[in-house]
Amino acid sequence: MGMIGEYARLTAAEFERAVGDPDWAYRRVRELTEQEWDEKLPWDRACRFDTDKMWHALDFLLRRIGFPVDIVFGEEEIPGAEEWSYGPPRCLTPAQVRAAADALDVTPPARLTEGVTPADLAEADIYPTVVWERGEPLDEVTAHYEALAVFLRAAARDGDGVLLWIS
């Protein structure tokens, strides 16, 4: 299965509650997951999103270009949150989601991979290393970036906060 980068959009009120009550946040995310399990909602309407195994490559590429918001691991800790899988969830406040959306608007997918090869990711030990060692193109990373951009722009449009974690 592997490690997956996961996201949940919460309304501003839900977000405030989630930050103050991590147990409620966990239950709410499970509810959202169940609600959307079989639905194939467009990313601008979905409350749940994942970057599959491309989270580490996205982090590497975004840090490389100096992206101003950590849209892979989040900017804030959730006080008192326990591990959901590979560590506790983190978050982006509605203001940070807005800042991320603004930065996404001026960062085309091609900028992420400009001058980078699969061999560079393999050399940097970016998960899943075997994919980059095989020389697979970076198309899957940019596809997940584009979908994440749609998801986060919709969250910004609606004034939502976002929870992030690796499962």
44-100 pLDDT, tens digit per residue, is 999 999 999 999 999 999 999 999 999 999 999 999 999 999 999 999 999 999 999
> What DSSP letter does each residue of 95-159 carry, written as one string?
HHHHHHHHHHHT--HHHHHTT--HHHHHHTT-SSHHHHHTT--THHHHHHHHHHHHHHHHHHHHT
pLDDT > 90? residue 16: yes
User: pLDDT for 36-47, tens place per residue?
Assistant: 988 889 999 999
Residue 47 CA to residue 44 CA, distance in Å, equals: 9
User: pLDDT for 114-142, tens place per residue?
Assistant: 999 999 999 999 999 999 999 999 999 99
Residue 90 CA to residue 165 CA, distance in Å, equals: 6
Q: What is the pLDDT of residue 38?
A: 82
Q: What is the pLDDT of residue 157?
A: 98
The DSSP bridge partners found for residue 77 are 90
pLDDT > 90? residue 23: yes
Q: What is the pLDDT of residue 1?
A: 65
Q: What is the pLDDT of residue 40?
A: 85
